Amino acid sequence: MPRGADQDWESLPPSARLYGSPADPALRKVRAGAGRAWRRVAAVLVALAAGAGLVAGALTLAPRLTAPPPPERARLSDPQAGLSAPLPPGWTEGPVAPVTGFTSVARGPGGALLMARPVAEPVEDAKKATAEAAEVYSRLLLKGDRVTVVEDRKLPGGHTRALRAEYRDVVNRPAFLRVMLLTRSGRPVMLVGLLQPEETARRQALDAVMTTVR
């Protein structure tokens, strides 16, 4: 520092006379203090973000934990016939079958009907027995003016036959009947499905039920 300065040169320590006046350390302290403050702010922000993430996760998980379980799917269960089948949405198991001899019944939208029963006598010719049963139930349930066989085929452990009935009057639309003869646990079981009126989607739903019988 020049000798004409306000500060008395002679009052400075020897090191200051050689290297100049010592710098004020206040700025360094402020910077150091500011760094510590920013670190504290950053830690608080990180903690808040973590807490917000936990809250969001809890809010997302809470409806899953508190939501009621999905309703149990309806089934057709027949202990006497020894069979069971899951029913599609809209189908329900009925208390009493409308035809004598059947031990279980399920009803679907639009009047769809599925009945099951055990067969008391042994079945030697499943195809013949299915055709005879289809003829009987056609006269009993369809009563069509014109009845056509639309399917007749062998199944694993049984046989199935499907009929389509048409009517001369304009009130009754075509109806559909399927008879299925199966063997379950060494015992013959008969299924009869009925649709009136017949529609492709409803026929597919009925066939799906009958083919899932276990």
Quick one: pLDDT band at residue 111, thresholds 50, 70, 90?
A: confident
Would you say 21 and 12 are in contact if contact means Cβ atoms under 8 Å apart? yes
pLDDT score of 9: 46
Helix, strand or coil for residue 38? helix
d(CA 117, CA 192) in angstroms, rounded, equals 9
- Provide, rounded to the nearest whole percent, the portion of the chain with pLDDT above 70: 66
CA 38 – CA 35 distance, rounded (Å): 5
How is residue 118 written in tokens?
Answer: 């055990």
Amino acid (1-letter code) at residue 67: A
Q: Report the distance separating Cα 159 and Cα 188, nearest Å.
A: 11
> Is 37 or 152 the better-scoring residue by pLDDT?
152
DSSP state of 142: I
Can you tell me the distance from the alpha carbon of 102 to that of 191, in angstroms, rounded to the nearest whole number? 9
What is the pTM for the complete model shown? 0.66
Q: Residue 189's pLDDT is what?
A: 94
The three-point CA angle 162-164-165 to 5° equals 140
Least confident range of 36-45, 69-78, 119-128, 150-159: 36-45
Which amino acid is located at 213 in the chain? V
The per-residue pLDDT for range 18-42, each reduced to its tens digit, is 545 545 444 444 444 555 655 665 5
- Of 144, 168, 169, the closest CA to residue 135 belongs to 144
Q: Are 75 and 87 contacting, i.e. CB atoms less than 8 angstroms apart?
A: yes
